[in-house]
Amino acid sequence: MSVLASIADVVAAACLLAGAFLCLTAGVGLVRFPDVLSRMHAGTKPQVLGVLLVMVGGAIRLHGLAATWMLLLVAAFQLLTAPVSAHMISRVAYRRRHVRRDLLLVDELRDAEGRDSVYRGDEPADAGPQLS
C-alpha cells in the first residue's frame, strides 16, 4: 500500500513539475516572439497541456471525489474556452494589422501582389467580409 502511494506521489510530482515547466516556456515565448499570433501560440501552451498536467497531478494527490470532479471541470473549461478566445483574439489581431505579415508563409487573406483581398483593416470585428 505504501509502495503504491509513493508511486502515485512520484507520478503526481512529475505531472506538477511538467506543468510548471510548460508555464515557464509560455513566459519565455511571450517575451521573445515577434507578434500577437506567435505570442498567443506560445501563451496558450500552459492553458491546455500545462493545466491538464497540473490537474492530473492534483487529482492524484487530493483525496475526495468533490475536488477531483472540480479539477476535471477546470480542465474541461480550459479545453472548451481556449480555442474560442484564441480565435477571437487572432481574428481581431489580423484585422487591426497587429500581425507581422512579412513573416507569414501563407496568407490566404491577401492576393499575390500583397494587397488585402478580403479585409481593409479598419472595419469592426463583427463585420462580414467586404468583397468589392
Partner 1 sequence: MTVVAVIAQALLGSGALLALVRLARGPSLLDRVVATDTLLVIISASLAVHAALSRDPTVVPVLVVVSLLAFVGSVSIARYVGGMLMQSSTGDGGNVGLPHAAEERAAEEREARR
Applying CB under 8 A, which residues contact partner 1?
9, 12-13, 16-17, 19-21, 23-28, 30-31, 34-36, 39-40, 43-44, 46-47, 50-51, 54-55, 57-58, 60-64, 66-67, 70-71, 73-74, 77-78, 81, 84-85, 88-89, 91-93, 95-103, 120-122, 124-126
Beta bridge partners of 116: 110
Q: In sequence order, what DSSP letters do the residues of 57-78 get, joined into one string? A: HHHHH--SHHHHHHHHHHHHHH
Least Å distance between CB 14 and partner 1? 9
Least Å distance between CB 123 and partner 1? 9
Distance between CA 79 and CA 66 in Å, rounded? Answer: 20
Distance between CA 91 and CA 57 in Å, rounded? Answer: 34
